[in-house]
Amino acid sequence: MIEFHSVTKRFPDGTVAVDGFSLVLPSRKTTVLVGTSGSGKTTLLRMINRMVDPTSGSIEIDGADIGTLEPVKLRRGIGYVMQNSGLLPHRKVIDNVATVPMLSGIPKKRARTEALQLLDTVGLDRSLANRYPSQLSGGQQQRVGVARGLAVNPNILLMDEPFGAVDPIVRAELQQELLRLQRELGKTVVFVTHDIDEAFLLGDQVVILRTGGLIAQVGSPAEILANPADDFVATFVGADRGKRVLHLESHSDGDVLVDADGRLAGVLAGGTSPSAAAGAKAAPEEKAAPEVKAGPFAGSGAPAQGGDPR
């Protein structure tokens, strides 16, 4: 469990990135911090492994104030995955994954064996182990990044917009991979993104942030979507624009789901049977029952999610 107690961060230039932030991040769940740039989400993430120290307030991991812990040691116990993978370009894939365990004193041979197993875990072929990061595709690099984050077998995994720089199809793949991994491994994941659809897909708990690290709303995706706390949240999640209100339209090619803007959002699971068409009347209820994770109306029209015909 990670707890923020009225944490404030004021940078030397006077910018207040985070102001009086308090939150509990439950263990073995995924908490997504979502907000636009300037919302302090990355700063919050980096405070958890002391890459940034708060100006005031405290952060506790399982009851221990991390301000009293040695930063390097703390970081070695926490997985970290960032945008553009952050892999060391001069080390082979296998060494990138094995580096941190070796820094912590695990013998090279064992670290490398475990690194190979981790490549399996994140769905990478072992034949890539001896390549350099620049020889991999963006999606493969991110997978290596995840493997590296898992290498120390941490309880906590920090992910800073890890899928922000890959194309939508690969992003959807990686998101599903992360959901699968999370089902298997049950880490305490803290995930930062500016993409609300990604947040709703991945998060057990979603934290919507305003500029300056102020919490606009905390809750499960369903809670937030069903009851946006205010206009800011409603705008942010797209509820005000009807982005979340889907209805069925019949075309000669078949039935499709369309949002209030007229944008194609997806198709009904199970094809275009008459009973599915009957669901058209019930479409406005979608807003009230947005089980985004598993529901047939997966997503909001982003090609990365709902529109995937596979």
Site residues for another protein per CB under 8 A = 46, 49, 51, 72-77, 80, 82-91, 99-100, 103-104, 123-125, 127-128, 131-132, 134-140, 143, 148-149, 158, 172-174, 176-177, 180, 308, 310
Q: In angstroms, what is the minimal distance from the CB of 161 to another protein?
A: 12
CB of 138 to another protein, least distance (A): 7
- Taking the complex as a whole, how short is the minimal distance between the CB of residue 84 and another protein, in angstroms? 6
Of 184, 159, 170, 9, the C-alpha closest to 85 is 159
Residue 293 token pair: 């994770």
Q: What are phi and psi of 123, to 5 degrees?
A: 80, 35
Which residue lies nearer to another protein by CB, 52 or 276? 52
CB of 245 to another protein, least distance (A): 27
Question: Least CB distance from residue 217 to another protein, whole Å?
Answer: 28
Residue 84 or residue 220: which is nearer to another protein going by CB?
A: 84
Write the burial class of residue 257 (CB in 10 Å: 0-12 exposed, 13-18 middle, 19+ buried). buried
**Nearer residue to another protein within complex by CB, 173 or 255:** 173
Nearer to another protein, 123 or 296 (CB): 123
Tokens 């910018």 appear where? 15
Measured CA angle at 174 (ends 164, 213), to 5 deg? 40
Q: Which long-range contacts (CB under 8 A, 24 or more apart) does 183-187 make?
A: 185/150, 186/28, 187/28, 187/79, 187/150, 187/154, 187/155, 187/156, 187/157
Q: Which C-beta is closer to another protein: that of 5 or that of 76?
A: 76
